[in-house]
Amino acid sequence: MSKDREFYLRRLHSLLGIIPVGLFLTQHLIINHFATKGAEAFNGATHFMESLPFLIFLEIFVIYLPLMFHAFYGIYIAFTAKNNPKNFGTLRNYLFILQRFTGIFLVVFIAWHVFETRFQVAIGAKEVNFNMMVDILSNPWMLGFYIVGVISATFHLANGIWSFLVSWGITQSPKSQQVATYVTLAIFLALSVVGVQALLAFV
């Protein structure tokens, strides 16, 4: 692969991880958080999303295709990337490695989650509602799997935002990168709380 082509593919991979994949994750967690207000609130929120015009178009071109490119090219990056201790130090290299591990795990988690939810709806077996998630999360092992999945997703997004800001030349100085670290840490904690609270609401 030429350096120019790889440069643009990595930029596209980075951008799609924020828009639209990151925005979709945030929206998805917020919708799920309606479960903390009860079954009726959650079902109302999911039914509203399912009633959006051009839903199939949105799911394919705004969610699934960008997500698949980000996932599969991310796997390529995970197995070809090298650490960079000279430029970013030990902590950033640990986060760099964790970013790769969570990315690979998320490919498995998201595929399973889609199978348990959207695929079941597509074949007419189930409906996405409060009871569906109660059934899924009634298994303690599955609850643990989902909690790890949510935290992996929120970390991957938050740390991905930090990398995006650096790779796109937005945060170049050490001070701006330190500020970005605090901001992305806050994003990680906030979204993790929202996501885990939603899961526990189904238990």
How much is the mean pLDDT over the chain? 92
State residue 84's pLDDT score: 58
* Tens digit of each residue's pLDDT (9 = 90 or more) over 110-121: 999 999 998 887
> Binding site: residue ranges?
28, 70, 113, 156
> Binding site for heme: residue ranges?
28, 70, 113, 156
Contact 31, 41 (CB under 8 A): no
State residue 139's pLDDT score: 96
CATH 1.20.1300.10 assigned to 3-201 = yes
* Tens digit of each residue's pLDDT (9 = 90 or more) over 161-186: 999 999 999 999 999 999 999 999 99
| Domain boundaries of the chain, sorted by first residue | 3-201
How far is it, in rounded angstroms, from Cα 127 to Cα 42?
13
> How many other C-beta atoms lie within 10 A of the C-beta of residue 57?
10
Highest mean pLDDT among 31-35, 55-59, 128-132: 31-35
From the centroid of its chain, how far is CA 87?
27
pTM of the model: 0.93
Average pLDDT over every residue of 18-39: 97
